[in-house]
């Protein structure tokens, strides 16, 4: 924390934390210290010390590498289960689940709106039966799982808990993350179902449930990734993401939770773009802002509540259909920025993702990219190796100052409440307009040649070469999933399903009731995600966004 101690005490504490006698050296045999910094350090000059500018942990990657978590999901649950097992065999140490568009929108595979989209951009999940197949043969007490889903996130978490318990796992041993970041859906990704205010209650039910029942689970992954993919700047990504995080904190506090009851399990998800040093500065500034606000504004006392820990994914929007092999280079640079910025887990995009879902070979190359950084570059041997760089420190300070100006605007908009400011900024289109304007400015630079993208507006030799083979998702996937869903519906107890859905409608009308127990009971009857969303929409309504002009 920030209590002053004798200067030499910092060094003693640090030595004890990082095991300074561990043998790390360059390829030439030059010994490496675990960290470099001032000879007479003050509070906060090293990693693992508030405000965690240089990293949340003293040892960083010397004692434990970041989690290599490859995003995967396509076709049926059985198809994706096979890809999960391939990635685990190749050295991935965490699962990250991609769902298809109907699932993300709370629509079942037999919904007319789902026609042609089943299993195409992720795995199709309609019922608990699909989740049982999705993780079959995988020890969910040993492997952490991330699920990138938002509006129906509580439903998918309920299915995961039910499937794990049916497989013999105890819920207290389940580790992982559910994205559950509903605010950024209205701002950027647009996969919303219900209006913002009841959706915030739904999100917070997961926070409350995990605080009580799933101590190893991260109930919200506060995501800047999709904000950046929609066209924001790095500063906007940082500021909008942290503002959303503060809004979630205020929502949880208003529901009666203490900040240290849930703060240690909040996590973040950032983009790693190609502006190498700006990305590193963004991550460092994020840690310092979060630590300061959590302690000084929200009264956190547990250091874990103040440590911003985050997952990173390389930038999908930076990939090009032209000369797709060059995407391997882009991804490597972006991944290195994430590591130098101190990420806790990392997904590297495959070179062919701009064309289709990744092939097995492309996904393996993406994983090997992380492994080269981890095991060949020696970068992980020193914590925050760019700390103290005049450029990096000045850029970090400037990024932080610009983000604070955005927080000030949102507080003014919410008349002193950041939560209310964020909600009003969504309802009046401010976030959406800011992102759209940033995307427009960048596109004008690209068209004018003031922003160069290799293979797009410069260095186009080779663009006429045939693209690499891509993964094809044919109509037979949809046919198979529809048959699967029909069988589940035919085999289940219809009366039990109806009773479970009726209970959900009743409890949704009472904001004091946590919906997670009713959701777990409902999915165990094999009620579908679409049926559950329809029942909740009968109480809350469905959201239609006003166009931003």
Structural tokens at position 527: 């009620």
pLDDT at site 263: 97
Domain boundaries in the chain? 60-448, 489-540
DSSP secondary structure string, 433-471?
HHHHHHHHHHHHHHHHTSS--BTTTB--TTTTSPPPP--
How far lies 122's CA from each of 39, 119, 245, 474, in Å?
51, 5, 26, 13
User: What percentage of the chain's residues is helix, strand, coil (to nearest 5)?
Assistant: 50, 10, 40
pLDDT at site 204: 97
User: What element of type H or E holds 270?
Assistant: strand 267-272
Query: pLDDT truncated to tens, each residue of the chain (549 aa)?
Result: 333 444 455 556 556 555 554 578 888 889 998 899 998 888 889 999 999 999 999 989 998 999 888 778 889 999 999 999 998 898 877 888 999 999 999 999 999 999 999 999 899 999 999 999 999 999 999 999 999 999 999 999 999 999 999 999 999 999 999 999 999 999 999 999 999 999 999 999 999 999 999 999 999 999 999 999 999 999 999 999 999 999 999 999 999 999 999 999 999 999 999 999 999 999 999 999 999 999 999 999 999 999 999 999 999 999 999 999 999 999 999 999 999 999 999 999 999 999 988 888 998 999 999 999 999 999 999 999 999 999 999 999 999 999 999 999 999 999 999 999 999 999 999 999 999 999 999 999 999 999 999 999 999 999 999 888 887 888 999 999 999 999 999 999 999 999 999 999 999 999 999 999 999 999 999 999 999 999 999 999 999 998 876
pLDDT at site 404: 98
Task: Give the SS3 label for residue 198.
Answer: helix
Query: Running DSSP on this structure, what letter comes out for residue 66?
Result: P
Kindly report the pTM of this predicted structure. Answer: 0.92
Sign of the Cα pseudo-torsion (198, 202, 203, 209, in order): positive
CA–CA dist 89, 82 (Å, integer): 11
Contact 319, 353 (CB under 8 A): yes
Task: Give the SS3 label for residue 413.
Answer: helix
- Expressed in angstroms, the distance from the first to the final Cα of the chain is 46
Top CATH class of 60-448 equals alpha beta
- Cβ-count burial of 401 within 10 angstroms (0-12 exposed, 13-18 middle, 19+ buried)? exposed
SS (HEC) of 491-546: HCCHHHHHHHHHHHHHHHCCCCCCCHHHHHHHHHCCCCHHHHHHHHHHHHCCCCCC
Paired sense of beta strands 217-218 and 221-223, if any? unpaired
Structural tokens at position 531: 């049926």
How far lies 135's CA from each of 121, 125, 128, 129, 139, in Å?
19, 12, 11, 10, 8
- The rounded radius of gyration (Å) of the Cα atoms in the chain is 23
pLDDT at site 1: 36
How far lies 493's CA from each of 410, 489, 496, 524, in Å?
49, 8, 5, 11
CA–CA dist 284, 442 (Å, integer): 24
Number of H helices, E strands in the chain: 21, 9
Q: Which residue has the tokens 């690209």?
A: 446
Non-local (6+) Cβ contacts of 437 within 8 A are none
CA–CA dist 243, 406 (Å, integer): 9
Runs of H (alpha helix) within 192-268: 196-213, 225-229, 234-254, 259-262
Non-local (6+) Cβ contacts of 176 within 8 A are 94, 95, 144, 145, 146, 147, 160, 216, 217, 218
Tell me the CB-side half-sphere exposure of residue 132, using CA atoms within 13 A: 14
């Amino acid at each position: 924390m920030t209590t002053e101690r004798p200067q030499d005490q910092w060094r003693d504490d640090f030595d004890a934390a990082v095991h300074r006698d561990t043998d790390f050296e360059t390829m030439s045999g030059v010994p490496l210290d675990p960290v470099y910094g001032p000879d007479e350090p003050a509070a906060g000059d090293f990693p693992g010390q508030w405000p965690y500018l240089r990293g949340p942990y003293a040892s960083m990657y010397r004692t434990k590498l970041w989690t290599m978590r490859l995003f995967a999901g396509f076709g049926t649950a059985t198809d994706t289960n096979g890809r999960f097992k391939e990635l685990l065999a190749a050295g991935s140490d965490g699962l990250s689940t991609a769902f298809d568009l109907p699932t993300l929108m709370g629509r079942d595979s037999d919904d007319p709106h789902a026609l042609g989209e089943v299993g195409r951009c992720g795995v199709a999940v309609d019922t608990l039966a699909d989740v049982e197949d999705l993780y079959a043969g995988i020890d969910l007490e040993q492997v952490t799982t991330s699920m990138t889903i938002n509006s129906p996130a509580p439903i998918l978490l309920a299915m995961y808990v039910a499937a794990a318990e049916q497989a013999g796992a105890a819920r207290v041993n389940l580790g992982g993350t559910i994205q559950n970041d509903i605010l950024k859906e209205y701002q950027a990704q647009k996969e919303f179902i219900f209006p913002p205010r009841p959706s915030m209650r739904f999100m917070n039910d997961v926070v409350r449930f995990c605080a009580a029942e799933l101590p190893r689970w991260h109930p919200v992954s506060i995501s800047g990734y999709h904000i950046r993919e929609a066209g924001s700047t790095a500063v906007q990504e940082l500021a909008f993401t942290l503002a959303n995080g503060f809004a979630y904190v205020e929502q949880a506090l208003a529901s009666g939770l203490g900040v240290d009851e849930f703060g240690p399990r909040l996590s973040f998800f950032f983009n790693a773009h190609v502006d190498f040093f700006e990305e590193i500065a963004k991550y460092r500034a994020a840690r310092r802002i979060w630590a300061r606000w959590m302690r000084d504004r929200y009264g956190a006392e547990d250091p874990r509540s103040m440590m911003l820990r985050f997952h990173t994914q390389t930038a999908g929007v930076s990939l090009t259909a032209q000369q797709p092999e060059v995407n391997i280079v882009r991804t490597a640079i972006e991944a290195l920025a994430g590591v130098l910025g101190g990420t806790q887990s990392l997904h590297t995009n495959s070179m062919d993702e701009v064309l289709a879902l990744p092939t097995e070979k492309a996904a393996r190359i993406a994983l090997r990219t992380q492994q080269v950084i981890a095991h060949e570059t020696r970068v992980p041997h020193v914590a925050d190796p760019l700390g103290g760089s005049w450029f990096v420190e000045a850029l970090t300070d400037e990024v932080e100052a610009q983000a604070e100006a955005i927080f000030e605007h949102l507080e003014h908009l919410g008349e002193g409440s950041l939560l209310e400011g964020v909600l009003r900024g969504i309802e009046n289109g401010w976030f959406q307009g800011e992102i759209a304007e940033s995307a427009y400015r960048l596109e004008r630079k690209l068209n004018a040649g003031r922003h160069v993208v290799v293979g797009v507006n410069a260095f186009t030799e080779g663009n006429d070469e045939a693209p690499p083979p891509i993964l094809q998702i044919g109509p037979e996937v949809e046919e198979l999933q529809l048959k699967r869903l029909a069988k589940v519906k035919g085999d289940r107890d219809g009366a039990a399903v109806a009773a479970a859905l009726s209970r959900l409608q009743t409890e949704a009308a009472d904001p004091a009731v946590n919906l997670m127990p009713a959701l777990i009971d409902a999915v165990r009857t094999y009620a579908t995600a679409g049926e559950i969303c329809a029942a909740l929409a009968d109480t809350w309504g469905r959201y239609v966004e006003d166009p931003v002009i």
